[in-house]
Structure 1
Amino acid sequence: MNSELIDQLKDHSIEYLIEVELKCYTHTLTGGIVPLMVYPKNEKELVFVVQIFKASGDRFEILSGMTNVAVASGQLDFFVLNMSKYEMREPTLRGNVLDVSSSFDMKELTQWAFKHKVRGLEWMEGIPGTVGAGIYMNAGFLPQQEISNILVAATYLDLDDFKVKRIKNHHLHFRYRYSEFQDMHVVVLSGTFLVQPVSEVGIKNHLRMMKSKKIIRTLHERRVKNQPLDYPSAGTVFVPPIPFHVGGMLREMNLTGYRIGGAEISTKSPGFIIGVDHMTGEDYKAMVEFIEKSIAEKYDLDIEPEVRLIGFDD
């Protein structure tokens, strides 16, 4: 560990942890030990941390809720810039525009919106991860229920010139689980969303909020019924090769329940890889590659994972 780097973090009172086992943080319960994980809480701290990381030449990964990653085991050769505590503030509503920090949890945002009589975010119920990660990967559920459908603009830190910038929706070239951010060297800081505030008075508005409550409950029940929520996973593994569905193809090939190490193709929802017996990142990656190969051989289709595989040599 670079003692000079640690001293700089201490001098600036920036929160950090050393020798962190990532499997205690990832939703897949995978990941070895990183030498350092840093929690910047504001723009000044963020810029400072990135600058000293770059000056030291150390590799770093930008992570937050760690809901969509599988990480290699062992001693890892990168630091983690953890954005889960960045500007932990309440969303700000201005008319029909809602400003939300990147660290705000999407599931909590659904509940916040209902409590404050705001519609349009019901579909986020049950989607794991933070707003920043959601913008980065265009998180969503059903068609027309994605970040790209409600995002007005986002702010981000450019990691090349260390300037905070704002980008509008159409410049992010959204598609399924993709935004332009994935091809940029940036950290997402906040999002501005178009929402539907509801007046506190009137029977019509009361009925609108009751409808929102029903939507939230229905989506929650649907996920509990259809998804293997009792097991470690990163959610849906692959970008759907429209008009086909990966889970359906795996059922046709009788591969549900297939295991590699501690990784299993879920019998409840074959689009998920779940951990059933101390799954490692290597198990998860091997299962991803097995599924890719099996579908390519059977259906002559190339599929692409939406889950991030981190820390592997290739």
Structure 2
Amino acid sequence: MAELTLKKAVGDALTIAAANKTGGEMLKLEEIVRAHLISVAADKSLFNELTKGTTTLEASPYAITVSKLQGSKWTEKTGVGAGTADKFRISKPLTINFNKPIYSHEAITAFEQSLGMPEVLTPKLTKMLQEFQRMYERTSFNNLENKIIADNKQVNFNTSTKTAKEIYEKIVEEATKLTETIDLEQGIDLIDREQIVVFVKPAVFDKIATMGLVGDRVTETLAGGQYSIVQLGGYKVFSNPFLSQFDIVISVNFLAAGAERVIAANVERIAPSNDMSVYFEGAFATGILWDNLSVGIANGTKTKQKENEIVQPKPEAERIKTSI
């Protein structure tokens, strides 16, 4: 359903752009259209589940500024008046830069054009948007897993040898521990159960989903588009194909910030032939705002992987090295 919605949005955008194009001009999607398309592509973003409690203060082509909402400092009142305010205690602005742009440039042959430009362009541009969105997901979750390792929040637990009941109990145990967090330095005084987000690899999700056949441990199944969701022990659990190091990650919905930007989506002729090409360029910003608020569960001890790298499903030699 998500792919069909995106494909329709792309098709509509290309049809309108083609109708407004003057002869000889390249077909170009305007900024407002590009922003709409990436919002459709990112509608079911898993990483963005970790950004829902984060407020974006400002966005530019180069960076996003977000508010890190911290707890208040409380003091016994001994005098008259309000006393001195604690500057930046409640809201600490943080800036996260966009990575260097990445692009894809693919040919459209004259034969393909004879089939109809909107019909040929729609699946190509849809695929580019999907690939770009998945690079955002993989890169963001790779950064999260590296943060878990840096914070020393790994839990040694082999899901492949455990029963569904044992995995269920481990998830609930670790998630409940997280709700009991008190961190005076970061201003955190407990975490609501509704703020906890759990990600598991698809194979683990399939295993724990069988708990729905036993009692009422799985209380609700939600329509999650391409990624399944259940309520497990009162916690929201997502099937996540973008996890690499850990089988299970437990975190909070205000942990991170993220943004995606389509810089260009154009179609032009490749001179001197009659062939055409579609050019897509984009960038994204992703960052973890809080320390020690994520737990990774896996067998053994993990080490950091692919730092300062945009992660895509390609061999090591073809991966994009960039500044993030």
TM > 0.5 = no
Taking CA–CA contacts closer than 8 Å with sequence separation of 6 or more, which of the two structures ends up with the larger relative contact order? 2
Q: Tell me the TM-score normalized by structure 2.
A: 0.20
Q: Tell me the TM-score normalized by structure 1.
A: 0.21
Which structure: larger Rg? 2
